[in-house]
Amino acid sequence: MSRSLTEQDLPDLARGAAVLGTGGGGDPYVGRLLVRQAIREHGPVTVLDPDELADDALVIPTAQMGAPTVVHEKLPCGTEPIAALRALEAHLGRRAGATMPIECGGINSMIPLVVAARTGLPVVDADGMGRAFPELQMETFGVYGVPGSPMAVAGERGETTIIDTGRDNKRMEWLARGITIRLGGVAHIAEYAMSGAEVRRTAVPRTLTLALTVGRTIRQARERGADPVAALAEALRDTLYGHLRVLFRGKISDVERRTEAGFARGRAAAVSFDGRHKLELVFQNEHLVALVDGEVRCVVPDLVCVLEADQAEPITTENLRYGQRVTVVGISTPDLMRTPEALAVFGPAAFGLPHDFRPVEELR
Amino acid sequence: MSRSLTEQDLPDLARGAAVLGTGGGGDPYVGRLLVRQAIREHGPVTVLDPDELADDALVIPTAQMGAPTVVHEKLPCGTEPIAALRALEAHLGRRAGATMPIECGGINSMIPLVVAARTGLPVVDADGMGRAFPELQMETFGVYGVPGSPMAVAGERGETTIIDTGRDNKRMEWLARGITIRLGGVAHIAEYAMSGAEVRRTAVPRTLTLALTVGRTIRQARERGADPVAALAEALRDTLYGHLRVLFRGKISDVERRTEAGFARGRAAAVSFDGRHKLELVFQNEHLVALVDGEVRCVVPDLVCVLEADQAEPITTENLRYGQRVTVVGISTPDLMRTPEALAVFGPAAFGLPHDFRPVEELR
């Protein structure tokens, strides 16, 4: 059933989206401010359940693209993703009936809400990654046969480009990344235009609702003095993301981060509070794998989430700092993200990692 | 008056275009083979004088884009510029009535002929540089108010992109160059779509005819045992390129060349046959300036042409080699390439050169 999203929902939504973003998908504070401004100017946003979409409705997802390390210094004004949407509509010769996130994340769950508030379009409660991933071919839309092309990329000066690589979504990512680099490291995009029927077939459903639940659960646990992580594990149990495992508690002891080829790449290390165990994280915008004492405890596509130890506030990869006290959790992903087709596109091997995928709930 | 261009014209045309290309614009041998193949398969090409165009005819120039050092190793198959043309037509929602070169050069005078042969379109006898320049904003079309956008870039795997930077042709170049680099260093483009009236107002006219004259003059002088350079000076006298000056005769003594940011950049040096004088050339795809014993003798936009000493065959910058015996000539450019507006876009300062522009015929 469609519902209205208001300014009061935004802190919980942004926090929850950042948890699901597994360290990427953008800073929730920035994302929240962008939507708040848009809602204050244009009123609340209508969120549509995927089941409410007409089979032939045209849905055009919108997002920000770029290295989080750059986004941090180069904030959008909010009109850029609309420029991308309009460019793609003009190219297709059709107007969108709704927009949708491509991934979960502090900014990228919010960009479609900004578009929705400013254009009056509804936003679909679903996305194409069920978390955040660094590259555009890593979307369930593409895994299950929707081409990303044609896509639009918009820059901050009103420049637009349309990319068409047919069914080759990896080549699309390669070109779009090149353009994003030339635009200064961050751009806004519209891609994977699809029908309502295709949304139902290929999207990870109800991830906006899930983000809201995650963010609200953490806040409410804090308010009543309960353990937010335990509350979150409880809240997730009956969702498509059923298993939450605490992987590590400790202090960040090292962060190595570089902005390279349009991505924020690096690794981070942590030491347990008793000094006896070590955590290693590898990231490309998002966390890809968590190793404890050299053993894999959670690996893509499952979620590695770094939370501030007391309040369980999510920490994005570009905000990791020496000395932070953290709880690192692993969260299982929905079945459609763990099929062989899905793992071929965004499993460990797709990132050049030497590990096999094993579900977080089976790793110890 | 329109004329038909046949296979027999190609060696002269390619040679002459390479002279006008001032070291850039592509290898004439490759250009010639591409057109020969297209004409053998599809028949001769119709060349239109600019005066024959209807005011409202849609003319879409086509070209190859990239570092000559890369083109050398990565030959096109001939369909890529048509993919660019078709992508731009689709974006504009109009079909082209003719194509046209954007510059003079061994490949880039020929690409529109390939397009013309394969599509049946006529090609306009004019171009947008009156020589070759390395960057897309450096076109008389843009100098005199025609925007390059929207433009199309096509890759060898059928990928296409459309770039729209409004009236900012420099930004267009920046993005197109980024895409070209991602496509492997060479791409094919369609840009500066314009009306017949705009062609007459902004293009350097009749440069295909001029290239044919240049190439034929050199060949015929060789055949009758005359000095090709003297014959060329004589043949140019009554054209828009009225002054040819011999700047230097000697042997190439050094070449420094790197493929960088999508361009072939470098410098070359030569020593006179008597060992008493030194020539220095600076190039970015094309030659930008010739200094003899430290003094500027010819600088952009005037043409610096390196010719093989005996036969006056043009040598492109990517083919410069130690020990080559060369005659280096400077050729004056048409008035519309020397206006303050034109010099602002492609004069010495636009390339970061410290020299003021002075006409080659006034330099000594």
Tokens of A291: 């190793």
- How many CB pairs (< 8 A) connect A and B? 63
A67 touches chain B (CB under 8 A): no
Does the model's ipTM exceed the 0.85 cut?
Answer: yes
Which of A160, A165, A174 minimises the CB distance to B164? A160
In chain B, residues 153-172 whose CB comes closer than 8 Å to chain A: 157-166, 168, 171
In sequence order, the 6+-apart residues with CB closer than 8 A to the CB of A212 are A9, A12, A13, A16
Quick one: average pLDDT of A342-363?
A: 97
- Which of B137, B149, B151, B179 would you mutate first to test chain A, the one with the most A CBs within 10 A? B179
pLDDT tens for each residue of B109-128: 999 999 999 999 999 999 99
Question: What is the distance between the alpha carbons of residues B53 and B121, in angstroms, rounded to a whole number?
Answer: 13
CB burial of residue B277 (10 Å; 0-12, 13-18, 19+): middle
Tell how far CA B101 is from the center of its chain. 8
A17-26, A67-76, B319-328, range with the lowest pLDDT: A67-76
B69 touches chain A (CB under 8 A): no
Question: What's the pLDDT at A26?
Answer: 86
Question: What's the pLDDT at A263?
Answer: 87
Q: Which residues of B touch A182 (CB under 8 A)?
A: 174-175, 177-178
Question: Are A175 and B165 in contact (CB < 8 Å)?
Answer: no
Structure letter (DSSP) for residue A133: -
Which of A164, A177, A179 minimises the CB distance to B175? A179
Question: Are B178 and A174 in contact (CB < 8 Å)?
Answer: no
Question: What's the pLDDT at B68?
Answer: 80
A322-331, B70-79, B168-177, range with the lowest pLDDT: B70-79
String of b and e for A12-33 (b: at least 16 CB within 10 Å)? bbbbbbbbbbbbbbbbbbbbbb
In sequence order, the 6+-apart residues with CB closer than 8 A to the CB of A248 are A270, A272, A277, A279, A290, A292, A297, A326, A327, A328
Nearest CA in chain B to A157: B165
In contact, B113 and B5? CB cutoff 8 Å: yes
Q: Which segments of chain A does DSSP mark as H helices, in order?
A: 10-20, 28-42, 68-71, 80-92, 111-119, 140-143, 169-182, 196-202, 207-223, 228-236, 340-346
- CA-CA-CA-CA torsion for B270, B274, B275, B280, nearest 10 degrees? -30
User: What is the secondary structure of A35-72 as a DSSP string?
Assistant: HHHHHHHH--EEEEPGGGS-TT-EE--EEEEE-HHHHT
Nearest CA in chain B to A83: B164
In sequence order, the 6+-apart residues with CB closer than 8 A to the CB of A333 are A130, A131, A240, A241, A301, A302, A303
Pairing mode, strands B123-124 and B45-48: parallel
In chain A, the percentage of residues whose pLDDT exceeds 70 is: 100
Give the H/E segment covering residue B71: helix B68-71
Question: What is the distance between the alpha carbons of residues B84 and A162, in angstroms, rounded to a whole number?
Answer: 13
Question: Are A159 and B182 in contact (CB < 8 Å)?
Answer: no
Neighbours of B323 (CB within 10 A): 7
Question: What's the pLDDT at A141?
Answer: 98
In chain B, residues 91-130 whose CB comes closer than 8 Å to chain A: 91
User: What is the secondary structure of B5-47 as a DSSP string?
Assistant: E-GGGHHHHHHHHHHHTTT-S--HHHHHHHHHHHHHHH--EEE
How far does the CA of residue B143 sit from the closest CA of chain A (Å)? 20
In sequence order, the 6+-apart residues with CB closer than 8 A to the CB of A276 are none
- CA dihedral sign, ordered A335, A338, A344, A348: positive
CA-nearest of A34, A30, A46, A19 to A215 is: A19
Beta bridge partners of B123: B47, B99
Which of A164, A165, A182 minimises the CB distance to B178? A182
Strands (E), B43-195: 45-48, 58-66, 98-100, 123-124, 126-127, 151-154, 160-164, 186-190, 194-195
Question: Are B175 and A159 in contact (CB < 8 Å)?
Answer: yes
B42 touches chain A (CB under 8 A): no
Neighbours of A352 (CB within 10 A): 8
Question: What's the pLDDT at A80?
Answer: 95
Residue A35: pLDDT band with limits 50, 70, 90 = very high
Structure letter (DSSP) for residue A355: P
Question: What is the distance between the alpha carbons of residues A287 and A302, in angstroms, rounded to a whole number?
Answer: 10
In chain B, the percentage of residues whose pLDDT exceeds 90 is: 91
Quick one: average pLDDT of A315-344?
A: 97
Question: Are A165 and B159 in contact (CB < 8 Å)?
Answer: yes
Average pLDDT, chain B: 96
Nearest CA in chain B to A150: B161
Q: How many residues does chain A have?
A: 364
pLDDT tens for each residue of A147-197: 999 999 999 999 999 999 999 999 999 999 999 999 999 999 999 999 999
The yes/no answer on whether domain A3-205 falls in CATH 3.40.1610.10 is yes
pLDDT tens for each residue of B30-81: 999 999 999 999 999 999 999 999 999 999 999 999 988 888 788 888 899 9
Question: Are B183 and A175 in contact (CB < 8 Å)?
Answer: yes
Residue linked to tokens 């969702």: A239
pLDDT surpassing 60 at residue A70: yes
Radius of gyration of chain B (CA): 19
In contact, B190 and B90? CB cutoff 8 Å: no
pLDDT surpassing 90 at residue B260: no
pLDDT surpassing 60 at residue A11: yes
How far does the CA of residue B33 sit from the closest CA of chain A (Å)? 28
Question: What's the pLDDT at A69?
Answer: 80
Nearest CA in chain A to B91: A91
Question: Are A178 and B174 in contact (CB < 8 Å)?
Answer: no
Nearest CA in chain B to A161: B163
Tokens of B105: 């050069």
Question: Are B166 and A158 in contact (CB < 8 Å)?
Answer: yes
Sequence ranges of the domains in chain A: 3-205, 227-362
**CATH architecture of the domain with residue range A227-362:** Beta Barrel (2.40)
Nearest CA in chain B to A171: B159
Query: Topology of B226-362 in CATH?
Result: CV3147-like (2.40.390)
Which of A159, A168, A179 minimises the CB distance to B179? A179
Residue A1: pLDDT band with limits 50, 70, 90 = low
Between the alpha carbon of residue B248 and those of residues A226, B270, B272, B304, B362, the distances in Å are: 86, 9, 7, 11, 16
How far does the CA of residue B183 sit from the closest CA of chain A (Å)? 8
Question: Are B179 and A174 in contact (CB < 8 Å)?
Answer: no
Average pLDDT, chain A: 96
Neighbours of B51 (CB within 10 A): 12
Nearest CA in chain A to B93: A91
Quick one: average pLDDT of B147-154?
A: 98
Nearest CA in chain A to B174: A182
pLDDT tens for each residue of A83-110: 999 999 999 999 999 999 999 999 999 9
Question: What's the pLDDT at B242?
Answer: 97
pTM: 0.92
Residue A260: pLDDT band with limits 50, 70, 90 = confident
Question: What is the distance between the alpha carbons of residues A188 and A64, in angstroms, rounded to a whole number?
Answer: 4
Question: What is the distance between the alpha carbons of residues B244 and B49, in angstroms, rounded to a whole number?
Answer: 25
Residue B1: pLDDT band with limits 50, 70, 90 = low
